[in-house]
Amino acid sequence: MRVIGLLSGVSHDAIESAAAELKFAGDDLVLRPLGAASTPFAPGLRQAVAAVLPPGRSGAGDLCALDARLGQAFAEAAAAADRELCAGGAELIVSHGQTVFHWVEEGRVLGTLQLGEPAWIAERTGLPVVSNLRSRDVAAGGQGAPLVSLVDCLLLRPGTAPRAALNLGGIASLTVVPPVSSTSPPLAFDAGPANALIDAAVSLVTGGAEAFDASGRRAARGRVSGDLLAHLLADPYYRLPPPKTTGKERFNAAQLLGVLGTPPAVWGDDLVATVTVHAAEVVAGACRRHRVAELYVSGGGTRNPVLMRALADRIPEVSIRLFDTLGIPEAAKEAYTFAVLGFLTFHGVPATIPSCTGAAHTSLLGSITPGAVPLRLPPPAGRRPIRIKLERPAGDAH
């Protein structure tokens, strides 16, 4: 089955698409990558998303309009992915949408909201769409994240020491797979902010002229403030045990300004350098606590050499590799992940790990919007696969 996965992450700057051919083969889920693409948001759409994200306050009309606009943007991205990656042969679209709020109180997730109405995608492509993937896990008492944990576990598999997958996006999310000798289950959690605070700092010090630290240049020029770093690391979130999730509801420009005081105690490139090291220390601390020996990294933070170097300096005992070494391009890892999760839903296979999300039980994820023809689901596939087997794309001799 040819499946397209779509999402826009915490940085809300583009729609990431990935296409895969997926099938069951005994205990394996066989995945053949067909390609990936990134479609930048139009400036007006990115500004509209930013306006509704915390600490912004928007009314129902703003949310309704943004839901439709995002749905239309995702629909165009899906149509382009079908045409360019699947030669018009896609059979299912899986859309994570754009998270605009993750409702957390006292460590418990009470709700989550992703925008990007799937009806626009179904109407544009004529294909069924799996969407709203997080809410069922939340209803079962889970955090609704990190949903990538299932795919991380199927790809990593237990080794002789703990292994972990890290997504360095707006938030740094970890999946820790215990060694084969352990009886402990896997864990997954949001370690804390990564690009979310780096982007916020860049936007603040440039008055909005820049949205991110390209190639870590500002961080490389700045000097780290030990006092500010200690203040940031004192946030009680870091002491909470997993599973736990967070987002821009907690870590945003307003929160950062509150820490800095008036006038700001640290500013300019020094601020960017400090929050960059903070992101590295948040991840390193989590790796130390869980005795991670191998770390496989994906996400936009991998393109920031200052962040990656700061992380490596803090955990020299850990082997750090890009997710590409597992056969999935790191830049498209999450899009491929959602393609897998939607495929499992379409085949009646639960796609969560309770120890990773904190849910009372594993769940079938998402809702299905029919395409142009009556919806016909295949017979349930039975038990969940125990590993992902990657097949090389046709013509790939490497």
Q: Which amino acid is at 26?
A: G
Do both 284 and 187 map to the same domain?
yes
pLDDT of residue 229: 97
Banded pLDDT at 396 (limits 50, 70, 90):
low
Which tokens go with 398?
Answer: 């490497």
Do both 257 and 335 map to the same domain?
no
Quickly count helices (H) and strands (E) in the chain. Answer: 13, 13
What is the Cα–Cα distance from 161 to 239, expressed in whole angstroms? 24
pLDDT in tens, 298-320: 999 999 999 999 999 999 999 99
Q: What's the chain's average pLDDT?
A: 94
**Beta strands 367-369 and 2-8, pairing class:** unpaired
Banded pLDDT at 248 (limits 50, 70, 90):
confident
pLDDT of residue 395: 53
Residue at which a domain ends, from 284, 299, 326:
326
Mean of pLDDT values over 271-292:
98
pLDDT in tens, 136-159: 999 999 999 999 999 999 999 899
pLDDT of residue 315: 98
Q: Taking Cα atoms as reference points, which of 132, 124, 128 lies closest to residue 80? A: 124
Instruction: Check pLDDT > 80 for residue 178.
Output: yes
Banded pLDDT at 50 (limits 50, 70, 90):
confident
- Which CATH number characterizes residue 27's domain? 3.30.420.40
pLDDT in tens, 16-35: 999 999 999 999 999 999 99
CB within 8 A of 263, min separation 6: which ones?
A: none
Instruction: Check pLDDT > 50 for residue 397.
Output: no
Q: Is residue 395 part of a domain?
A: no
What is the Cα–Cα distance from 35 to 39, expressed in whole angstroms? 14
pLDDT of residue 384: 92
Residue 117 belongs to what domain range? 2-145+330-390
Q: If you ran DSSP here, which 8-state letter would residue 184 be given? A: S
Instruction: Check pLDDT > 90 for residue 114.
Output: yes
Do both 205 and 264 map to the same domain?
yes
Burial 94-116 (b: 16+ CB within 10 A, else e): bbbbbbbbbebeeeebeebbbbb
Q: Is residue 397 part of a domain?
A: no
pLDDT in tens, 344-395: 999 999 999 999 999 999 999 999 999 999 999 999 998 899 999 999 865 5
Could you give the C-alpha distances from 151 to 115, 135, 328, 384, 387, in angstroms and in order? 23, 18, 11, 11, 9
Do both 26 and 109 map to the same domain?
yes
Do both 100 and 162 map to the same domain?
no
Burial of 207 (0-12, 13-18, 19+ CB in 10 A): exposed
Return the bridge partners of 305, or none: none
Do both 29 and 98 map to the same domain?
yes
What is the Cα–Cα distance from 164 to 189, expressed in whole angstroms? 11
